Structure 1
Amino acid sequence: MTEVVLLTVAGFMGGTFGSMVGLGGGIFVVPVLVLFLGVPIHGAVAASLLAVVATSTAGSINYIRRGCANLRLGASVETALALGALTGGVVGALLNREALSAVFGGVMIVVSLYVWVRRNASAPRPLEDEGLGRLGAAYYDPSLRCEVGYRVRRLPFGLLLGLVAGNVSGLLGVGGGFLTVPAMRLAMGVPIRASVATSTLMLGVTACSGALVYLARGMVDPVVTVPVVLGVVVGASLGSRLASRVRSSVLAAVMAAVLFAFAVQMLLAAGGISLR
């Protein structure tokens, strides 16, 4: 019973924070399951992918209602994400525990540093008269108390990054959001609030592609997966509501700090150093 409660709490915390920053919860759930609850990393990745599906469903509802999610942009990037996730899932199922932990930690280090350095870049601007383009959109930002408009730039580059994010998603069970959010924000010029909302919307489809591989290989443990998914569903709904009350620069800074902390722990785990 204690283990079930801990798994549920881990899912709740991951879902809450993951939904706030558009990462789907997996980037937080996997390290917690592996580092603190002793779950084998392949089982943690499989549970995380299924939890990401739940996060996307629960969190995206609120974002769509508020008009933050860019449906046209999401549909464009999702094709590349899903294709990459299938490939990443196959590779991830074949890697040993140490290698998978090392890859996880290394990717998180790079992304956390990049997000921290560029945390104030591409600040949202009040809606102007210039056209928003085919994929551009506008939404109301309650922290700025005005409507924000933006154009989507460098779409081909964004699709390439989406393919890479999909591979990482299937490989690590993290939904790809910790790459798609920075990609949309920094490479495509999309404000972080819209990036978070659109990423949350896309995560479910991407995670499904990777989860199919783990399901086919029998790596899904219901005892671990069910309580994690339940916790994530509740947490994701709460997180998407809390996100609208936090300034964009703060969201980016917190995202970078948490990613870096977990990255260091995963790299230590890959080297045989346990913090439990």
Structure 2
Amino acid sequence: MDLWGILAWFALGAAAATFGSVVGLGGGVILVPGLIAFGELLTGEEIGTGTAVGTSLVVLIVTALSSTWAFARRKRVDFRSGLLYAAASVPASAAGAAMTETLRPAQFELAFGVFMLALSGLLFARSHMRPLTRAWPVKRMFADADGRVHEYGHHPVWAVGIGLGVGFVSGLFGIGGGSLFVPAMVLLFRYPPHVATATSMFVILLSACSGSLTHITQSNVDWAAAAALAPGAWLGGIWGAWITSRMSGQALLNVLRVTFVLLALRMIASGLTG
């Protein structure tokens, strides 16, 4: 691999991880279509959908680990709530990963494109939605590194249900699941956005480990690609955590919205043409 190839892998890993960490996405929404679209250019061989998902989840472990470590240093991770979500998302992620093999490439690209289009719609609507004012049976108080105390809550049944759904989607598409976790935590349970993003990355770390194991047993991981992406993903996870401490993320969200629409349309077109 020449210098330009190394830089291309590094840039893809860093961009996906940085975007993912800022809004709690995890980065798979960039990595999976990136590997499918540019895999042949970067490796000389086409990367199939199953391998793209498995490789994305392995790299996601690196992203989530570095991001969780950086967020934890700033005392933004609610580990107690995160473990509740993870209890449901970890086994569901393994089930979703097992389902990936049942989809033909065209079916996967079409389903992934529709999902990304729905996700972009959620990102557009998120700015106009307000958290529920309902009082939840489980109340949480969380003090961050600045000494600010945040009050929010959740319902255990709802939390487990969200964990199951998000974990399954995470394993199926290799995206990490934060794209659904963060809006649910903010809008349903009134988590502070920064706490929701940080806690989401911790849950992603655990569910990505589970989904990765399933894909590893199915030989769905391109280890050379994962190793090439890992350095950029590690730094991107740290950069994303640093960025969230200094900006609202609104400008980046606008970029992500447009990017997701373009990627979704490309995946849908590819899926429809087979």
State the TM-score, normalizing by the size of structure 2: 0.87
C-alpha distance in structure 1 between counterparts of 2:82 and 2:116, whole Å: 23
C-alpha distance in structure 2 between counterparts of 1:118 and 1:231, whole Å: 29
Corresponding residue of 1:126: none
Corresponding residue of 1:137: 142
Larger mean CA deviation between 102-111 and 31-40 belongs to: 31-40
Paired residue for 1:25, among 19, 24, 27? 27
- Describe how 1:21-100 pairs up with structure 2 within 5 A: 21-38=23-40, 39-100=47-108
Cα distance change, pair 59–258 in 1 and its aligned pair in 2 (3 A): same
Question: Quick one: which amino acid aligns to residue 11 of structure 1?
Answer: G
Once the 2 structures are TM-superposed, how far is the Cα of residue 269 of structure 1 from its aligned partner?
Answer: 2.1
C-alpha distance in structure 1 between counterparts of 2:119 and 2:81, whole Å: 22
C-alpha distance in structure 2 between counterparts of 1:155 and 1:136, whole Å: 16
**Per-residue Cα deviation, 1:65-87 (whole angstroms, up to 9, x for no partner):** 11211111101111111021011
Once the 2 structures are TM-superposed, how far is the Cα of residue 91 of structure 1 from its aligned partner?
Answer: 0.3
**Per-residue Cα deviation, 1:145-184 (whole angstroms, up to 9, x for no partner):** x936131234422321211110011101111111111111
C-alpha distance in structure 1 between counterparts of 2:251 and 2:230, whole Å: 27
**Helix, strand or coil at the partner of 2:150:** strand
Corresponding residue of 1:15: 17
Question: Quick one: which amino acid aligns to residue 94 of structure 1?
Answer: T
Residues 1:179 and 2:187 are matched in the alignment: no
C-alpha distance in structure 1 between counterparts of 2:126 and 2:52, whole Å: 31
**Per-residue Cα deviation, 1:103-124 (whole angstroms, up to 9, x for no partner):** 211122222212321225447x
- Describe how 1:150-169 pairs up with structure 2 within 5 A: 150-169=151-170
Question: Quick one: which amino acid aligns to residue 242 of structure 1?
Answer: I
Corresponding residue of 1:127: none
Cα distance change, pair 88–59 in 1 and its aligned pair in 2 (3 A): same
Once the 2 structures are TM-superposed, how far is the Cα of residue 251 of structure 1 from its aligned partner?
Answer: 5.4
C-alpha distance in structure 2 between counterparts of 1:136 and 1:97, whole Å: 45
2:139, 2:154 within 8 Å by CA — same for their partners in 1?
A: no
Question: Quick one: which amino acid aligns to residue 33 of structure 1?
Answer: L
2:89, 2:168 within 8 Å by CA — same for their partners in 1?
A: yes
Identity fraction in percent: 28
Corresponding residue of 2:199: 198
C-alpha distance in structure 2 between counterparts of 1:137 and 1:160, whole Å: 23
- Number of residue pairs aligned between Structure 1 and Structure 2: 263
* CA RMSD, Structure 1 to Structure 2 (Å): 2.5
**Helix, strand or coil at the partner of 2:26:** coil
Question: Quick one: which amino acid aligns to residue 238 of structure 1?
Answer: W
**Helix, strand or coil at the partner of 1:261:** helix
Once the 2 structures are TM-superposed, how far is the Cα of residue 11 of structure 1 from its aligned partner?
Answer: 0.7
Cα distance change, pair 29–86 in 1 and its aligned pair in 2 (3 A): same
Once the 2 structures are TM-superposed, how far is the Cα of residue 133 of structure 1 from its aligned partner?
Answer: 5.6
- Describe how 1:235-274 pairs up with structure 2 within 5 A: 235-247=236-248, 249-250=250-251, 252-272=253-273
1:93, 1:171 within 8 Å by CA — same for their partners in 2?
A: no
Residues 1:115 and 2:123 are matched in the alignment: yes
Corresponding residue of 1:219: 220
Cα distance change, pair 250–68 in 1 and its aligned pair in 2 (3 A): farther
Corresponding residue of 2:44: none
C-alpha distance in structure 1 between counterparts of 2:82 and 2:262, whole Å: 29
Question: Quick one: which amino acid aligns to residue 205 of structure 1?
Answer: L
Unaligned runs of 5+ in 1: 124-129
Corresponding residue of 2:208: 207
